[in-house]
């Protein structure tokens, strides 16, 4: 593996999942693989789980970790080619990224979308510019449109929680939120589940919340949450803002919140969410505090997903 920015960087999802589960069983089995190697983690946006799990994963492999909060500790970066830098940006990625390439062996970046212009966000300019100019492997810690470490974690969590031979029914349901959020987690989860191909996959959301077909193609899509939830083995709850009329909130209908009543028609579904979660907006307390919630297990698995990915990159001889 050279970079890890989407499911397309993974040749065999199940093999990567098994590698992650092997690290979960034996975290220090490759404790010298990353000796004398450094990972630089650049955060243009806040993070709790991604930051800590990536750091733990790298340390389990013997790597040194340096975090930089670009927003308040680094210079404001410019990403556009041929920019006339007379505004707020101080340093061009073309100048900064090669320096990261000298300091680190792997570069990991979190850069959320601005949600102002769909074409800009979906061009994935930031992550592409780092890949272009850093000269070292790049790992996405969540980009403008995707969150691949989260999605790998999600497939790991489904795999270890569902030992049956049949395909599980997985429902991705939109939920209300007070702020317009990126489509990253929903896009990425859809992309991974579709490529994985080992689930009956249903996406449900209100009208006008259609995601980009490039990620959802292959899933059954319905505006009827009640129908979608029937017989589900897993319910993945996530808000996203509108994709077509970009970055807006069209509805905050509390009827879309997953609660005990709407969960009751599932097949005692395990409930997933990437976190952070707005309690009693997206998900009710009774669900989050109940036995059906596996959100803590899911967040715990972030370490093993990151460790499997970093290991694959290190084994590619960085």
Task: Please report, as ranges, the residues that interact with ligand CP according to CB under 6 A.
Answer: 47-50, 142, 150, 274-275
Q: CA-CA distance, 255 to 260, in Å (whole number)?
A: 12
CB closer to ligand CP, 48 vs 178: 48
CB closer to ligand CP, 165 vs 179: 179
CB closer to ligand CP, 78 vs 304: 304
Taking CB atoms, the residue at the shortest distance from ligand CP is: 50
Least Cβ distance, residue 252 to ligand CP (angstroms): 22
CA distances from 215 to 129, 300, 311 (A): 22, 26, 27
CB closer to ligand CP, 49 vs 177: 49
CB closer to ligand CP, 48 vs 83: 48
CB closer to ligand CP, 30 vs 142: 142
């Amino acid at each position: 593996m050279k970079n890890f920015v989407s499911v397309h960087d993974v040749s065999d999802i199940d093999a990567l999942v098994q590698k992650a589960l092997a690290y979960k069983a034996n975290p220090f089995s490759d404790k010298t693989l990353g000796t004398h190697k450094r990972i630089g983690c650049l955060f243009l946006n806040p993070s709790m789980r991604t930051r800590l799990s990536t750091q733990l994963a790298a340390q389990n492999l013997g790597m040194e970790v340096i975090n930089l909060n670009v927003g308040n500790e680094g210079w404001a970066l410019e990403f556009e080619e041929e920019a006339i830098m007379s505004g707020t940006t101080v340093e061009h990625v073309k100048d900064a990224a090669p320096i990261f390439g000298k300091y680190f062996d792997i570069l990991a970046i979190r850069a959320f979308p601005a949600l102002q212009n769909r074409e800009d966000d979906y061009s994935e300019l930031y992550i592409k510019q780092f890949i272009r100019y850093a000269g070292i492997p790049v790992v996405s810690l969540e980009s403008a449109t995707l969150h691949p470490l989260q999605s790998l974690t999600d497939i790991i969590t489904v795999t270890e929680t569902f030992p049956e031979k049949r395909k599980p029914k997985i429902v991705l349901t939109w939920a209300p939120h007070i702020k317009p959020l990126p489509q990253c987690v929903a896009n990425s989860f859809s992309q991974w589940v579709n490529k994985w191909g080992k689930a009956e996959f249903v996406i449900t959301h209100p009208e006008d919340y259609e995601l980009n077909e490039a990620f959802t193609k292959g899933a059954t899509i319905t505006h009827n949450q009640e129908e979608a939830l029937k017989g589900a083995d897993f319910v993945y709850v996530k808000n996203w803002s509108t994709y077509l009329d970009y970055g807006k909130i069209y509805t905050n209908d509390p009827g879309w919140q997953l609660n005990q009543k709407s969960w009751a028609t599932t097949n005692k579904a395990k409930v997933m969410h990437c976190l952070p979660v707005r309690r009693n907006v997206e998900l009710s307390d009774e669900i989050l505090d109940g036995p059906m919630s596996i959100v803590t297990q899911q967040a715990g698995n972030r370490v093993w997903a990151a460790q499997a990915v970093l290991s694959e990159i290190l084994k590619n001889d960085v």
